[in-house]
Structure 1
C-alpha cells in the first residue's frame, strides 16, 4: 500500500506502527494548559520565551517562527482521525488487525481502528503539525496523558508545560533543520526502520525538553531523565488501562529507549553527535535496543527480499510488505509466553525479517521470513513459534514453519496447505543481505535440492 507522508507531527506512517507514532505526537503537550492556554488564547509571551531560549540549549536555530493555535478537544480529535483515514481505509485497518492477531501481536478480534482512536482520545492534548508548520494546543488539555503524569515525578508541576512545549518545538527544529519527514518517507517500506528513526526524534525531543526545563544539559541531566522514565509503563496503564501491547510497547519504546539511545550519542559527542543521527540514522529497533551495534560495530542491518511465491499464489494480491523487527517480535513472545519466559531472549538474536501479506477475496496469507545470529537460534525459534501458533491458532488457520541455516520461514493461511511446494520456491528465490556488506546471497538449498 502506498502511503503519503505524515501530516500531524512525525506521527503518521504506514501500517500498525504508524498508529503508535500518531499517539506519541498527539499526547506530548499534556499539561501545557497550566499556563500557556487561557480560554481560546495562547500566552504568547511565555511561548515566545521558550521558542527563543530553546535554540541556545539545543544548539539549533529556527529557520521560521512556529505559530501556536488553540483547538477544542473535538476539533483536535477530528483532525487526528481524519488525518489517519487519509492513508487508510476501514478494510486496510481490518486486514492489519487480523494479521497482527494471526501472528500473536494483537488479541483475537481486536478492532485496530477503534483501539487506536480510543487511546488517542484519552491522551490528546496538543501536537506539532509538520504540514501546516504550526503548534496545536488543545483547550482544556491540562492533566491529560501518561507523559504528564510521568513528567511531574521529574520536575515541579509549574515547569511541566515548559518542558513539553520545548519538546514539541524541538520537533519543529528537527523538521526545519533535518527534513525528518523526507527521511521517514524514504523508509516507508520498512516499519521497523521508521520506528527506529522515530525513536531518535522522540528521544532527542524528550531530552531537549527536559534539559530546557532544568536549565542546562549534561550527562547528569540525561541520567536523571532515564531514571524517571522507568515509571512510564505504569503511568500509561493508569491513563489508558487495557491498551493492547502491540500499541503501547512501540509508543513507550520511542520515549524510554529513544532517550537512552540519544543520550548515548550525546555522551559521545554532544549535540553535534545527536545531529549526526539524522544524517546516518539507526536502521532497526535492534540497533536502538543494543546501541553498541550502532555506535561501535557500525554493522549494516541485513535486508530480505521475499520472492518465489508469485506463481504458486497466482490470483492472490499483495496488500502489505513490512518488517516487524526485534521490538515487535519481543512483544509477540512476551504476550504469548509470558514476560518471564526464557524464550524471550530469542528476540535479541534477531538480525532481519520481511513479511508479505496476500489477500484473495476475504482470505489472507502471511509469508514471514526472519534471520537470526546463528542456526541454533533459527531452529529454536521454529520450534518455539510453531508451538505458540498451535496454541494460538489451533485448526482455525493453517500454519507451517521451516528453517534453513540462520533463517526461518513462517506461512500462515492457505499457503500452509501446500507448504511442501511453496516453501522450497520461496527459499530458492529469496535473497538475504549479509550483515557487513550489501551483497545479496541466496538462501542455501537443502542437500535434497542440490
Structure 2
C-alpha cells in the first residue's frame, strides 16, 4: 500500500470563471524574511485572476498553487521551504503510468501478501492482491504527492487540466509535512502503515477541512465542481477500499484529538512518535501509551511446508483491517466508516505468517491476541460465522471448516481459541492443516 498514491477527496474542478475580489491590507511582499501565509507573490487572502473554462494553463496553475500554499501555511502555522511543482494528468494517463511502473504492463504477483488478504476474507484466490490494490487505486486516486520527486500530481477526469482546490490543498499538506518532518520512511507491517498514514493523511484531511470552512465566509475560493460529473468508476474490491480509506476516515479525528490537547505542537510531536497501531488512530485516547502486544508464531510446519523468504516473515493486519473483514462479511451492523465493531474492538495484537509448499500450494497461520477472553470469543465466533454464512463452509471434526470450490476462499480452516488468543490455520485441504501448523503438544 503506497501512501503517496491515496487521496480521500473524489472530486475535481469544473470549468468556471473566477472573478477578481478585493485585495487585502497586507504589503505587496513581506518585509525581510519570508512570512507564514505568503508564497510567491500571494498572501493567503489575496485574489487570483484565472479562467478555468478551458482548464488552467501553466501560469494560472502557478498562481492558484502559490495562494493555496499560503493558505495551507496560514492554517498549519508552518512555512514551506521551497515551491512544489504541480502536474495535472488525465485519469487515462495515470492508469498508463501505474501499469507501466514495473515495466511488465501490470503489478508483480505477490503470493506472500495474497495470503494476508485471504486471511482477512477480503481478496480471494481468484485475484492477486497486487492487481486488486492497483485496480482500486486507479479508480479512486485524485492526486498524490511524491516525496522522492518532490512534486504533486493531480488527476483530472478529462484531457482538460482541471484542478480541484481541495485536492491541491490536501497534497500541499503532504509537501509541507515532507519539508518539515520528512516522509520517506515506511512501516514494516500493514497495520503500522495504516497507523502512520492515520497521522499523515489525517492531518492532510484535517487541514483540508479547515480550508473548506473558510471558503465563502472568510475567503473567496475557486468554485468546486458538480461531483456527478467526475470520478474514476466503480470500486471492484470494496473491502480492500475500506481498509485503504481508514487513515482518511478516522485520521482527522485523531489529529483533532492531538490539536485539542496541545495545538499544532502536539501534532508536530506525533511526527516524531507515530501511532503504533490503527487501534490508536481509531481510539485516540489509547495513543501513545496503549502499545500493541508483540505476537510471535512458532514454526510447527513439516518438511513439505515452509515460510516465505520474506522480510518480515509475518504481517500484522490490526483492528482497522479486521473491522473491514467483519463489515464486508456481514458480521456487524456498524457504520462502514466508523471502524468500530464488537468483533474487532478489543484487538491487542496479531501476526499472520504465510506458508507455501513445493507443489504450488499456499496457506497461513494467523494468531491474534485480545484484551479479554470475551473479545477473543467474539472475534472467533464472527470469523467462523463468516466462513459458514458468507462462504458456504461446512464444519468437519472439532474446529475445522471447509469452504467449497464455489467460493474464491476455497480452503480448509482450523479455528481455535485459548483464553485471549485465537489461532487460525489455513491450508488447501484438511489433511494439510497439520503440515502447515501442527497443534500444540
With normalisation by structure 1, the TM-score equals: 0.70
The 8 Å contact of residues 89 and 159 in structure 2, kept in 1 or not, is answered as no
- What is the aligned partner in structure 2 of residue 381 from structure 1? 379
Equivalences for residues 304-319 of structure 1 within 5 A? 304-309=295-300, 314-315=305-306, 317-318=308-309
Compute the RMSD of aligned alpha carbons.
Answer: 3.7
**Among candidates 176, 185, 189, match of residue 173 of structure 1:** 176
Cα distance per residue 1:176-232 (max 9 Å; x no partner): 1111222xx2x2x2110111111211111111123234349xxxxxxxxxxxxxxxx
- What is the aligned partner in structure 1 of residue 38 from structure 2? none
1:139 is displaced (CA, Å) by 5.1
Equivalents in 2 of 1:65, 1:312: separation in Å? 57
- What is the aligned partner in structure 1 of residue 189 from structure 2? 190
Q: What stretches of structure 1 of length at least 5 have no aligned partner?
A: 1-17, 149-159, 217-233, 428-448
- What is the aligned partner in structure 2 of residue 403 from structure 1? 417
Equivalents in 2 of 1:375, 1:199: separation in Å? 28
**Among candidates 346, 349, 353, match of residue 349 of structure 1:** 346
Q: What stretches of structure 2 of length at least 5 have no aligned partner?
A: 17-49, 216-226, 392-401, 405-409
Equivalents in 2 of 1:84, 1:281: separation in Å? 30
- What is the aligned partner in structure 2 of residue 7 from structure 1? none
Equivalences for residues 30-179 of structure 1 within 5 A? 30-31=12-13, 37-38=55-56, 42-83=60-101, 90-92=108-110, 96-97=113-114, 100-101=117-118, 103-106=120-123, 109-110=126-127, 112-138=129-155, 161-179=164-182
Q: Does 1:258 pair with 2:256?
A: no
**Among candidates 367, 370, 377, match of residue 369 of structure 1:** 367
Equivalents in 1 of 2:436, 2:118: separation in Å? 23
Cα distance per residue 1:13-60 (max 9 Å; x no partner): xxxxx16x4652496673388667525665322211222332232111
The 8 Å contact of residues 39 and 139 in structure 1, kept in 2 or not, is answered as no
The 8 Å contact of residues 398 and 412 in structure 1, kept in 2 or not, is answered as yes
1:348 is displaced (CA, Å) by 0.4
The 8 Å contact of residues 70 and 136 in structure 1, kept in 2 or not, is answered as yes
Cα distance per residue 1:49-85 (max 9 Å; x no partner): 2223322321112222212233344333333334477
Equivalents in 1 of 2:368, 2:308: separation in Å? 22
Equivalences for residues 6-25 of structure 1 within 5 A? 18=1, 21=3, 23-25=5-7
Q: Does 1:277 pair with 2:295?
A: no
Would you say how many aligned residue pairs link Structure 1 and Structure 2?
Answer: 369
Which SS does the other structure have where 2:199 is aligned? helix
Equivalents in 2 of 1:383, 1:339: separation in Å? 12
The 8 Å contact of residues 352 and 364 in structure 2, kept in 1 or not, is answered as yes
Of structures 1 and 2, the larger Rg is shown by 2
- What is the aligned partner in structure 2 of residue 227 from structure 1? none
Q: 1:414 to 1:176 in 2, by over 3 A?
A: same
Q: 1:293 to 1:388 in 2, by over 3 A?
A: same
Q: 1:167 to 1:411 in 2, by over 3 A?
A: same
Q: Does 1:413 pair with 2:406?
A: no
